[in-house]
Structure 1
């Protein structure tokens, strides 16, 4: 599929690729997207090494990334999946609530899913996430299969590291009109 030759992300995590992509989008003046740190309270600190060895989460987090793309508010979460079936338990209810509220404020919410077994990236629109979420809440499958996804939203890395999610935000916007 992509330019990284079916050898996975070659040691890079999905988050690393997205962070580099966000830096590039910022340099190009196309978007300003920030990684949202998870708020923690340190319990133990190794003073010699000067790092936290034990901590707990202060509060629940929302999504991994938030920002603006040419005047449009955007928020998204990055997820990795080893199999062709994605368990919905990987998406937390507080994330769904946040993304729904974000959409109501005329923002765009989505997931970027990396299927490591097939080296595929997927842009999952909020309405698609919501459909699977509602199916699970009404007694249906508590996961979705790769085959259930819209083929038009599978992404390929550009230049081996660039996650072209802006192209898919545009496709998402076009589908809303």
Structure 2
């Protein structure tokens, strides 16, 4: 039996960690960060009614049998943290680099627009083999993306990432807002060029 590879859920493990962390941040009033649902248009639903113990019909389960994506999604998460708008996407890789093909052009464009409005935009990349998480600012993503069209790398190597952007993982949580503070410091100090 052939095992088919799917690419639509490459960040699932990382997203579960982020969702738990976001709940923690919300509970402690640090920030509100929400997972954005994928916009789909349902065309057909198969409903199965069930009989209750008295022989009557009850509403049963519904299965979506036909649907399509209404529009391209932007990023996985959006939120507000102490007055800052943040948007980011979660990516995973089994390599020691993050392929740029995993980051869609419309996502880069959306993150650029957020930065131009003084928001914060980045990717949380999980390098699974190394068991490391990095925050990759849009400025760095855009730099690699632009160079890829001029014969440069088609990926972002983990070894090129600033160690100050490694995200701490402990007690089942991914403390990415600590790294967002580092990102903000880099912006203030001019260590990151604007998009």
Q: Report the TM-score when normalising by structure 1.
A: 0.88
**What does the per-residue CA deviation read over 1:87-107, in whole Å, with 9 as the maximum and x for residues that have no partner?**
101111111111000000010
Q: Distance in 1 between matches of 2:156 and 2:137?
A: 14
Partner residue in 1 for 2:58: none
Name which structure has the greater RCO, CA cutoff 8 Å, separation 6+.
1
- CA-CA distance at 1:122 after TM superposition: 0.7
- CA-CA distance at 1:172 after TM superposition: 0.5
Q: Distance in 1 between matches of 2:82 and 2:138?
A: 20
Q: Distance in 2 between matches of 1:100 and 1:165?
A: 20
**What does the per-residue CA deviation read over 1:33-73, in whole Å, with 9 as the maximum and x for residues that have no partner?**
11100100123323123122332110001000001000001
**What does the per-residue CA deviation read over 1:125-151, in whole Å, with 9 as the maximum and x for residues that have no partner?**
111111111111222111122111112
Q: CA RMSD in A?
A: 1.3
Q: Distance in 2 between matches of 1:119 and 1:170?
A: 22
Partner residue in 2 for 1:69: 81
2:51 matches 1:39: no
Tell me the SS of whatever aligns to 2:85. Answer: strand
5+ residue gaps in structure 1? 1-11
Partner residue in 1 for 2:111: 99
Instruction: State whether residues 125 and 133 of structure 2, in contact with CA within 8 Å, keep that contact through their aligned partners in structure 1.
Output: yes
- CA-CA distance at 1:118 after TM superposition: 1.4
Give the one of 69, 74, 86 matched to 1:57.
69
- CA-CA distance at 1:171 after TM superposition: 0.4
**Structural mapping, 1:1-177, within 5 Å:** 13-48=13-48, 49-159=61-171, 161-177=172-188
The 10-residue stretch of structure 1 (131-140 or 42-51) with the greater mean CA deviation from structure 2:
42-51
